[in-house]
Structure 1
């Protein structure tokens, strides 16, 4: 199922620093370096993903919304997570549901290779090249925070593959963040606008996740697509959960890799960028920036 337009194919999985942009010889090389930023595997990024997993579990009161928990508890179920990253979601589930089986796929092998439950397996692969699993193999297929990884065309491929490997009667669930600018301050707005602009240059529509259910419904063998949204206020005005998300956001925007990429996108020096990013926490104290998390889930229709 190769996709000639894929922007995340056949990339190196090694962790490396982004060189100074003026030293990159070609636009293709620059895009490869930027990709390592978008798929960052540094310790800070992994820590943020771990923290973010537990934040989302709290606001949704569970790790998934599909009505399948009783079957997973019973045992023998197979669950697939694509773009699994460090595997936090799967590690949590595989420890809780010891009688079912869990599989994670990611283009970069930052997941644990040896220290993991026996009912959990990780595979290094690019989902845009197609999944290696048989048709109708999984009871639940899942993707989280992939909205800024795939072009609209790639989303069609990914959804098709998730549906293909899901059993009739099984569930497909997509989870992400729907970016809202309600109550946003000028610094956060400027920083996020620059990030969406950088993604758009890779033909990735940051707003597609707003209406992913519409794209989902166009796929064959899919029943009603359910949509669940949970919002929070970033910063102290959002209580404890708002402070946790603030820590994640501030850590991200103050990271060296974000500084390099976003300062260039805005057209300012790294020093100017750092001065701006350092004021984020103070701005969150004065604003009520809304952040909306969304889950889409649907059942694969039983075949006649």
Structure 2
């Protein structure tokens, strides 16, 4: 909605597998579609000038990453841009409780075939290359988490705490963690971000769909 307001001449389409969309005060140039990204996108080839995806690191297996990014490339116009924004799945300057939660999360997701470190191995740049995307550039951004990071840092901390709570059942069962131990770790993690000056690491990888198909090799 912010993009739609900032760029009134553009048509913005938002997609999520859950019906979490706003229902009032939606700009005329903005629409929302409920759709699972693991299924083919409901758009013809070469539809969008810009395709943007973020924060699916916990939801896709390595094979699904390749599948999904190739689909993003399909719906982008020749010469259009694709951008991926992902957290690194572990953060930086973690205190002992935050580090413990990240470790438990990694263990739980591994049982589901999800690699939480995919931003480094194989990395978003490699995944974009596998989708035949060119002119790739990646930035790595460190955002402080907590009061020491100002308004953004405080919002990140609130999001992190909500995230820890939302994934509690998955982590407790997937990593075989005692609920009381998990709850205690979440409580202490909220406190220790200031002591350790914790931060989140985000990878922003951008690339361009080829203007014309690659020449065939005979």
Task: Answer yes or no: is the 8 Å Cα contact 1:223–1:299 preserved in 2.
Answer: yes
TM-score by length of 1: 0.64
Question: RMSD value over aligned CA atoms?
Answer: 2.0
Change in CA separation of 1:139 and 1:287 when aligned onto 2, cut-off 3 Å? same
Which segments of 5 or more consecutive residues in structure 2 lack a partner in the other structure? 214-218
Task: Answer yes or no: is the 8 Å Cα contact 1:138–1:165 preserved in 2.
Answer: yes
Give the drift of 1:265.
4.1
Per the alignment, residue 101 of structure 1 pairs with: 11
Per the alignment, residue 38 of structure 2 pairs with: 128
Give the drift of 1:266.
4.7
Give the drift of 1:183.
2.0
Higher strand share: 2
Query: What are the superposed Cα offsets for residues 120-141 of structure 1, whole Å, 9 maximum, x if unpaired?
Result: 1211222211112111111001
Q: Does 1:270 align with 2:175?
A: no
Higher RCO by CA contacts (8 Å cutoff, separation 6 or greater):
2
Per the alignment, residue 138 of structure 2 pairs with: 227
Q: Distance in 1 between matches of 2:8 and 2:124?
A: 32
TM-score by length of 2: 0.87
Q: Aligned ranges for residues 12-23 of structure 1 at < 5 Å?
A: none
Per the alignment, residue 195 of structure 1 pairs with: 105
Q: Distance in 2 between matches of 1:114 and 1:234?
A: 31
Q: Distance in 2 between matches of 1:205 and 1:272?
A: 24
Per the alignment, residue 150 of structure 1 pairs with: 60
Q: Distance in 1 between matches of 2:158 and 2:22?
A: 25
Which segments of 5 or more consecutive residues in structure 1 lack a partner in the other structure? 1-90
1:223 is paired with a residue whose SS is strand
Give the drift of 1:113.
4.3
Q: Distance in 1 between matches of 2:178 and 2:110?
A: 22
Give the drift of 1:174.
0.6
Per the alignment, residue 27 of structure 2 pairs with: 117
Query: What are the superposed Cα offsets for residues 100-148 of structure 1, whole Å, 9 maximum, x if unpaired?
Result: 1011222212113454111112112222111121111110011010122
Per the alignment, residue 88 of structure 1 pairs with: none
Task: Answer yes or no: is the 8 Å Cα contact 1:170–1:299 preserved in 2.
Answer: yes
Per the alignment, residue 127 of structure 2 pairs with: 215
Q: Distance in 2 between matches of 1:186 and 1:263?
A: 18
